[in-house]
Chains A and B, each alone.
Chain A
Amino acid sequence: MTNPMHDEHHDHLGSKMGMWLFIFTELFLFGGLFLVYAIFRSKYGEDFHHAAEELNVFIGTLNTVVLLISSMTVAMSISAIQKGDSGRAIRLLLLTIVLALVFMVNKYFEWGHKFEFKLYPGSPVLGNLPKGELLFFGLYFMMTGLHALHVVIGCVLLGITIPKIAKKQITSERYTFHENAGLYWHLVDFIWIFLFPMMYLIT
């Protein structure tokens, strides 16, 4: 240990295990919604088909690519900190946050486009759609919205990591916080990997 000032109660393995346990709760949070989707899809196949065709596959694919790249930049930033290259680790984290913002801007335009057509939770237009389509859009807004919230939280976590690296609180000897923030970001990517085909591809 290079920094005896902060040695008290530091448990890398325990912290990481705690992070994984938290990730499991997140997986079940989204897993429950996936299950609701699967059941209603099997019940209202036709309606889900029509509703899913309304979604923009291009913007969905673009956001998938953006998130996958951001997942790589986070993984690279952890490699960088392990090698002791703080500068590069910070630059890669900044790049990740920029990519996350690109994701959110795309989401803004995507949702904005839906709102223009009066498609938003609780709208009269949505209420008059067949039951299955209403359910699809309900799940679409709920799941992509909850996912977007996770993108924002992930950005905050990565944003907290950067000054910690700059202040040498995160070093090649001790990067648990950085690693856990990275795990959270990968979780955001992992969930999107399943959301994307369910919402945009399977029509």
Chain B
Amino acid sequence: MEKHHISSYTSHGIVLTVLLTLTALSVTIAELHLGAISVAVALLVASIKGTTVLTYFMHLKYESTFFKVMVAGVFAMYALIIIFTFFDYIFR
């Protein structure tokens, strides 16, 4: 088997710390009841957390470009589906 990058235990610990901090931030902001902004912030923080999990825990950072393009393509496709559905819903 070809050589693979081995993530250190410390790096996993750092990633977890980042994820927990973002969770705390997200909950704190939600408690402030900022209305429409809180929706945007919650989804933004979730996206950052999700990207962190994909990049480090799911090891995408150390995969070949092919995997990165594949995953990015799937999310781009999903974004298009959301946009088209809302266009259809709003302008029907």
Contact = CB atoms under 8 A, between A and B. Distances in A.
B9 to A, nearest CB: 6
Determine the interface band of chain A, counting residues with CB < 8 A from chain B.
35 or more
A61 B27 contact: yes
Interface stretch (A75-83, A93-101, A116-124, A146-154): A75-83
Is the contact region of chain B dominated by helix, strand, or loop, or is it mixed? helix
B47 to A, nearest CB: 8
A20 B70 contact: yes
Interface residues of B, number: 42
Residue in A69, A173, A196 whose Cβ sees the most chain B Cβ within 10 Å: A196
Interface in B39-79: 39, 42-43, 45-46, 49-50, 53-54, 56-59, 67, 70-71, 74, 78
A40 B16 CA distance: 33
Chain A's interface: helix, strand, loop or mixed, by majority? helix
Instruction: List the 3 shortest-distance A-B pairs measured between CB atoms, nearest first.
Output: A197-B42, A201-B30, A72-B16
Interface of A: 1, 12, 17, 20, 24, 27-28, 31, 35, 38-39, 42, 57, 61, 64-65, 68-69, 71-72, 74-76, 79, 82-83, 173-174, 179, 183, 186, 189-190, 193-194, 196-198, 201-203
Given A35-B82, A202-B30, 12 more contacts: A27-B78, A31-B78, A42-B89, A72-B12, A72-B13, A75-B15, A75-B56, A76-B9, A79-B8, A82-B6, A183-B58, A201-B26
